[in-house]
Structure 1
Amino acid sequence: PFLLTDDVAGGNNLHWPVFHRCGNRNLTHAFRKHVKLKKQHEIIRLGMVIELLAKKCECLHVLDVGSGQGHLARLLALDKKLGVATVDLVGSHLTSAQRFDHQAALHVQKKKTMEIEADARDPSCRLPRHVELEISMATTPAELEQVAEKAWGRAQSSVENFVLVGLHTCGNLGPSMIQLFADSPAARGLVSVGCCYMKLNEDKCEGIGRKMAYPMSSHVHALGDVAALSYQAREVACHAFEVYTRKLKESPLALKIHCYRALLEKLIVDRYKDQRHCGLGSVKHAASLTFSQYARKALEKFPLPLPDEDLDSPELELAMNEWQCVVVFYSLRLLLAPVIESLLLVDRMLYLWDCRIPSCLLPLFDPSLSPRNLVLLAFKEGSHSDKPHVG
């Protein structure tokens, strides 16, 4: 029933451009500026899918949730000619997104001055409209549609239908937008790419429906403890399996970083038991450093003191001789990453089917460039006013 899968996966309507890591010319300068190669790869492919889904849903508008600096939104508005609104946290990236928008618009105007001027009143040619709002499990469909009203200037009773998009939505943001899509009549299509699964909150949201970020579907919920995922399991699901495989082959010595990290976390937990999941700074060229050098760099933003005698203990250097054992253990854990991520994403897909909304998962990106490469696609056929409640 989900013909879009054939269109995208089979390439019936799409001709995927060749992506060159050394410099991508499939995007004009307007859309490459300020954008890393990984993000270029993502937005060019996702932009094509969103354009196809918008046509299938007969939508001229896109609502981009967690849009960051607006690279995808900019491409959709200026290249795909869609009316685009973005939703992000208050003050998160609004200033830089607007600055980049105007830079891109100036570049486009230089190349197509007559076209832009002739069609200046067409809403599909406007720059993205940026709206500040925190999307959460408690956000209502009415609040989402108010964003559309604010962005596109429509009375709430006649909000334009739109495609709801989220590229690498962190933690609860992914499940929140999926539930909003299911509940909002104006949201006709969904394009969702998740990330940061360890930040999922498995507690129920208080209020009507008592929604949960995981499990979402009735099937996975019925599995009970069998499908329970710890913080550690969800964190493993975020790792880059293909990238790690390449490192094992090309530069195994660089993987000493895993032993460094494990030793440092042990030191922290020995002193501060409540800091088991603390954030540590990334350290460049860690394999060329001693453990104490690495630890001091990684702890630069750590809020609590760690004594020098802990970091300079001779026992730590002896433990470093076992770094290969840590790499073996880490590799075995990583073999489970695709299984755990599949469970999380299939749960989201099944939730939509619970709501009688056709959906599918599609591997869209090159996983060696973009490890979170699975895209959840969905669209509504006909009326969903009779959608069953899924608790």
Structure 2
Amino acid sequence: MATESYKDVQRLQCSMAEDLKLINYFEALSNFFMVDFYTYSAYNMLPKAWLESAKQYDDSLLEQFCTSLLPENSVKICRSLMPLSMLCFIALTRKKLALRIKQPCPKHELPISCKDQLKFLKPKKIVELSDMLPCIQKVVSSQNITHVVDIGSGVGHASRFIAKQNPHCMVLRIEAQSNLINKATDIDLNFDKMSKSKNIFSSVCRLTLDDNVVSSFLQLLKDADQANGTSFSSPKSRILLLGLHPCGNLGSYMLRLFKECAICQSAVIVSCCYLLIDSEPNQTGGFPLSNFLKDQEVLNLSSQLKEQACHNAEFYLSRLGSQLNNHDKLTQNWRSIADIFLSKRESASSRSWFKFKKRANGENIVKFINKNLALHKLPELDKDEEELALKLGVVDQWKTWAYYLVYILKLSLGVIGESLILNDRILFLLESRCSSQFEILFNPKESSRNVAIVSSKN
């Protein structure tokens, strides 16, 4: 292994060791839903030193803890307020978040030849494609790519642009949902007569992460070749695997496929939907992939932590920091209390889908809950429930404060969880001697899953 690659592996292993220590230390909190905060006394899961500081300094500590986590905030931390363990947590989380910040550079725009597709795109997708296409073009050119396979292609926006820009490349879209492929085909017909270019094709197939990823993929390519007269399965093919936000195990499938399939020359993958990753420690699981993590004690990330890793931590922490000086605007704890009563009236499995009306100034907890019960056409609180709601939401103000401390901590743990998953994926490739790196493609506040793994075989 080259010296530089060896140093990259060492850096990744050190970073992952840090992540594991934090996740293990806060395991009880990472396995816990915020809706259960009041019923399971989650504040007792916080480090004792943090609780002691909280009781002494209250709101000033909480506001500093939240705002100082974001790397772009040049906040002067009052070290006398915070225990050393809290300062260390802030430093590590800031470092992880800083890696996701896109460095200032000229803003990319979609090619003029593709502007007629804009009417089919949402603003978020325009931002993503504008920043992702230059990266793909660089890989196509430098690696002499002859074929592109867009896995989890959706309605085919990315593959459509690539086919337009690279008429010498054959592009195959693979999507499990036939209705999305049908919609993609309809858009093709309206997009600059794409149907006449003869270099973009589609296949409806659900890919499975198992021991047969290569053989099943090659059979899929052979079937596509037979149906379309293409050459994806040719031994001379140089395939780029493309995944813009493949869900869960699909990202792990692509990495395994890239490593093991000889004709897959390059990969550009922006991971997403970590909560759908199979994290059982077995050979064909979606996590962990690297030998380094497979040798560690704790491998099974909780579903809550994986879900938290999908959240836009920058957005939530920034918004929460701006609200902490004005308690009338803080609603997250009231929503959790309301959720307790909503859950009593509905099945527990449906509670995460509840919609909420915003908290109004001067409104008490009982009115807030009844307003949201009415939104879902459910009966109001009875007298006993009103007393419990008042006790939870009004009487014990310190518990309300502790709620936000736990909430901020769980947002931060999501950042640590994503860091561990991404580092595991790129370490898996480096262990296989594939040239691999992270590339920050999007502004995280515009597209929260913004880190691409870009890899090519030596």
- Give TM-score scaled by structure 1 length: 0.74
Aligned partners of 2:116 and 2:138: how far apart in 1? 22
Name structure 1 gaps, 5 residues minimum. 4-14, 110-119, 301-305, 382-391
Do the aligned partners of residues 42 and 263 (structure 1) sit closer, same or farther apart at CA in structure 2, a change above 3 Å counting? same
- Counterpart for residue 368 of structure 2: 290
Do the aligned partners of residues 371 and 156 (structure 1) sit closer, same or farther apart at CA in structure 2, a change above 3 Å counting? closer
Larger Rg: 2
- Counterpart for residue 144 of structure 1: 217
Q: Per-residue deviation at 1:42?
A: 1.0
Q: For each residue in 1:99-148, what CA deviation from the matched residue of structure 2 results, as whole angstroms up to 9, or x when unmatched?
A: 12222224x89xxxxxxxxxx6xxxx436311111112125212222333
Do the aligned partners of residues 296 and 167 (structure 1) sit closer, same or farther apart at CA in structure 2, a change above 3 Å counting? farther
Aligned partners of 1:282 and 1:93: how far apart in 2? 28
Do the aligned partners of residues 55 and 98 (structure 1) sit closer, same or farther apart at CA in structure 2, a change above 3 Å counting? same
Q: Which has the higher contact order (CA 8 A, sep 6+)?
A: 2
- Pairs aligned (count): 339
Q: Percent identity?
A: 23
Comparing 181-190 with 250-259, which one deviates more in the overlay? 250-259
Q: For each residue in 1:190-243, what CA deviation from the matched residue of structure 2 results, as whole angstroms up to 9, or x when unmatched?
A: 1111111111112366xxxx3121111000111122x54211211111111221
The answer to whether the 8 Å contact 1:161/1:187 transfers is yes
- 2:296 aligned with 1:223: yes
Aligned partners of 1:279 and 1:80: how far apart in 2? 44
- 2:317 aligned with 1:245: yes
Aligned partners of 1:375 and 1:311: how far apart in 2? 53
Over the aligned positions, Cα root-mean-square deviation in angstroms equals: 3.6
Aligned to 2:255, the other structure's residue is in SS state: helix
The answer to whether the 8 Å contact 1:69/1:97 transfers is yes
The answer to whether the 8 Å contact 1:292/1:312 transfers is no
The answer to whether the 8 Å contact 2:281/2:287 transfers is no
Aligned to 1:175, the other structure's residue is in SS state: helix
Aligned to 1:67, the other structure's residue is in SS state: coil
> For residue 99 of structure 1, what is the amino acid of its counterpart?
D
- 2:178 aligned with 1:91: yes
Aligned to 1:290, the other structure's residue is in SS state: helix
Aligned partners of 2:331 and 2:391: how far apart in 1? 15
- Counterpart for residue 205 of structure 2: 133
Q: Per-residue deviation at 1:267?
A: 4.4
The answer to whether the 8 Å contact 1:65/1:88 transfers is yes
Do the aligned partners of residues 257 and 88 (structure 1) sit closer, same or farther apart at CA in structure 2, a change above 3 Å counting? farther
Do the aligned partners of residues 182 and 155 (structure 1) sit closer, same or farther apart at CA in structure 2, a change above 3 Å counting? closer
Equivalences for residues 187-226 of structure 1 within 5 A = 187-203=264-280, 210-225=283-298
Aligned partners of 1:74 and 1:131: how far apart in 2? 14
Do the aligned partners of residues 251 and 93 (structure 1) sit closer, same or farther apart at CA in structure 2, a change above 3 Å counting? farther
- Counterpart for residue 113 of structure 1: none
Aligned partners of 2:180 and 2:266: how far apart in 1? 25
Q: Which has the higher helix share?
A: 2
- 2:249 aligned with 1:163: no
Find the partner of 1:49 among 113, 123, 135.
135
Q: Per-residue deviation at 1:171?
A: 1.1
Q: For each residue in 1:1-26, what CA deviation from the matched residue of structure 2 results, as whole angstroms up to 9, or x when unmatched?
A: 799xxxxxxxxxxx96526xxxx776
Q: For each residue in 1:225-276, what CA deviation from the matched residue of structure 2 results, as whole angstroms up to 9, or x when unmatched?
A: 2x5421121111111122123323556789755335533554466688973x
